[in-house]
C-alpha cells in the first residue's frame, strides 16, 4: 500500500513547524500590494503582512496558484510512489480548488491523487489537513483518511468575528451603507460558512461581548455534552478578546482539546486585522 502524503494550500493557515513535522506539502497563494506580489506564508509571514497592511492604505488582494503549481507537486510525489490527498480552500471563495483539479487531470491515469473541496477556510480546514496527515503518518490508508476528512468537514462548526466591516465592504461582501451603519452602532456581524462553502451572515450583535455570548449560546444548545476540539485563530497583534472567547467556550462546552492558530495574509486581506476565527470539531468515537 502506497504511503499517503497530504497537500494543501497556504490559506489552511497551518503553522510551518506543524507542516514540516507531518510532511504536509503546501502550495501558496499570492498576496498583492498593488504591483508587489508575495507568496503567502513563504515570502510574507502573518506578522509582516499585517504590519505592511497597516501602512498600505488600500485593499490588499490575492491570487490563486496555477494548475502548474499543483502539477509540479503532484507529479513529484506520485513519481516517488506516494498516493496524494489534496485538500483546498472552498471552491466558493477561490479558484484554487479548480487549479488543483486541472492539475490532477494533467497527470498520467495511474497517478493516485484525490482532490477535496474543503468548503471551508483558514484553520477550519487546516485542522482537517492536520488530522489527515496524522493518520497518514500512523499508516492509515487513503480510504480511511478521506472518510475521516469528510466526517470532520460535515460536522465542523465555525464562526468569524471581524473587528471592522471595512474589509468586507471593500471586498464586496457587504454594502457601504451597511458598513457605515454597523461601525456607528458598534454592530458586530457573526459570520459563518454554509455547507456549500459560501460565507454568510449568521447573526449580529451590538458589541463583541454580546457577539461572543451569542456564539456560546448557540454552540451550547447544539453540542450539549459532546466532546469537542476547539481551535481559535487570530491575527498577529490583534488578539484582544480571543482569550476571553476561549474561556467562555471552555466553560460552556465539553472541550477536550484546544489549540491556537494565526490567520494568514490571504484570509486576513479579505477579513481584516482583528478577526477571530472559531473552529469547533466534535470528536469522533
pLDDT tens-digit map of 137-154:
999 999 999 999 999 999
Rounded average pLDDT over 100-109? 95
Q: Which of 126, 153, 180 is the last residue of a domain?
A: 153
Please give the Cα distance from 219 to 233 (Å, whole number): 17
Q: Which of 3-7, 53-57, 108-112, 132-136 has the lowest mean pLDDT?
A: 53-57
Rounded average pLDDT over 160-170? 69
Q: Which of 153, 178, 201 is the last residue of a domain?
A: 153
Domain span including residue 92: 4-27+65-153
Q: Which of 92, 6, 11 is nearest to 262 (CA)?
A: 11
Q: Would you give the DSSP letter of residue 209?
A: H
- φ/ψ of residue 14, rounded to 5: -90, 130
The verdict on residue 177 lying in a domain is yes
Question: What is the tally of structural domains in the chain?
Answer: 2
Provide the mean pLDDT of the chain: 89
Residue 127 has pLDDT above 60, yes or no: yes
pLDDT of residue 187: 75
Q: What is the pTM of this model?
A: 0.90
Residue 235 cell numbers, joined: 491575527
Instruction: Give the other-Cβ count within 10 Å of 119's Cβ.
Output: 23
Please give the Cα distance from 110 to 35 (Å, whole number): 41
Read off the CATH number of the domain in which 262 is found: 3.30.1180.10
Q: Which of 108, 138, 153 is the last residue of a domain?
A: 153
DSSP characters over 26-81: EE--EEEETTEEEEBTTTB-HHHHHHHHHHH-S--EEEPPPHHHHHHHHHHHHHTT
pLDDT bucket at 121, cuts 50 / 70 / 90: very high
pLDDT of residue 57: 78
Bridge partner residues of 157 (DSSP)? 280
Residue 280 has pLDDT above 70, yes or no: yes
Same domain (yes/no): 78, 121 = yes
pLDDT of residue 167: 58
Same domain (yes/no): 170, 244 = yes
Same domain (yes/no): 233, 134 = no
Same domain (yes/no): 161, 135 = no
The verdict on residue 40 lying in a domain is no
pLDDT of residue 175: 43
pLDDT of residue 1: 60
Residue 285 has pLDDT above 70, yes or no: no
Which SS3 state, helix, strand or coil, does residue 3 take? Answer: coil
Same domain (yes/no): 259, 120 = no
pLDDT tens-digit map of 220-243:
999 988 999 999 999 987 766 888
HEC-encoded secondary structure of 116-147: EECCCCCHHHHHHHHHHHHHHHCCCCHHHHHH
Amino acid at each position: 500500500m502506497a504511503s499517503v502524503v497530504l497537500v494543501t494550500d497556504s490559506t489552511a493557515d497551518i503553522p510551518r513547524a506543524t507542516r514540516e513535522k507531518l510532511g504536509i506539502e503546501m502550495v501558496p497563494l499570492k498576496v498583492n500590494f498593488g504591483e508587489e506580489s508575495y507568496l503567502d506564508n513563504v515570502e510574507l509571514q502573518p506578522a509582516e503582512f499585517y504590519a505592511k497592511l497597516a501602512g498600505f492604505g488600500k485593499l490588499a488582494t490575492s491570487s490563486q496558484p496555477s494548475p502548474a503549481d499543483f502539477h509540479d507537486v503532484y507529479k513529484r510525489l506520485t513519481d516517488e510512489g506516494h498516493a496524494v490527498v489534496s485538500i483546498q480552500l472552498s471552491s466558493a471563495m477561490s479558484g484554487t480548488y479548480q487549479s488543483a483539479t486541472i492539475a490532477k487531470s494533467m497527470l498520467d491515469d495511474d497517478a493516485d491523487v484525490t482532490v477535496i473541496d474543503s468548503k471551508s477556510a483558514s484553520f477550519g480546514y487546516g485542522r482537517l489537513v492536520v488530522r489527515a496527515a496524522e493518520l497518514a503518518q500512523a499508516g492509515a490508508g487513503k480510504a480511511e483518511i478521506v472518510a475521516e476528512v469528510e466526517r470532520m468537514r460535515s460536522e465542523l462548526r465555525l464562526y468569524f468575528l471581524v473587528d471592522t466591516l471595512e474589509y468586507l465592504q471593500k471586498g464586496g461582501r457587504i454594502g457601504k451603507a451597511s458598513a457605515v451603519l454597523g461601525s456607528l452602532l458598534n454592530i458586530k456581524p457573526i459570520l459563518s460558512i454554509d455547507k456549500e462553502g459560501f460565507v454568510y451572515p449568521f447573526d449580529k450583535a451590538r458589541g463583541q461581548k454580546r457577539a461572543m455570548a451569542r456564539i456560546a449560546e448557540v454552540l451550547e444548545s447544539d453540542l450539549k455534552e459532546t466532546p469537542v476540539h476547539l481551535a481559535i485563530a487570530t491575527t498577529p497583534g490583534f488578539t484582544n478578546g480571543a482569550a476571553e472567547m476561549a474561556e467562555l467556550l471552555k466553560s460552556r462546552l465539553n472541550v477536550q482539546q484546544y489549540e491556537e492558530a494565526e490567520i494568514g495574509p490571504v484570509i486576513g486581506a479579505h477579513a481584516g486585522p482583528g478577526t477571530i476565527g472559531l473552529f469547533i470539531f466534535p470528536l469522533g468515537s
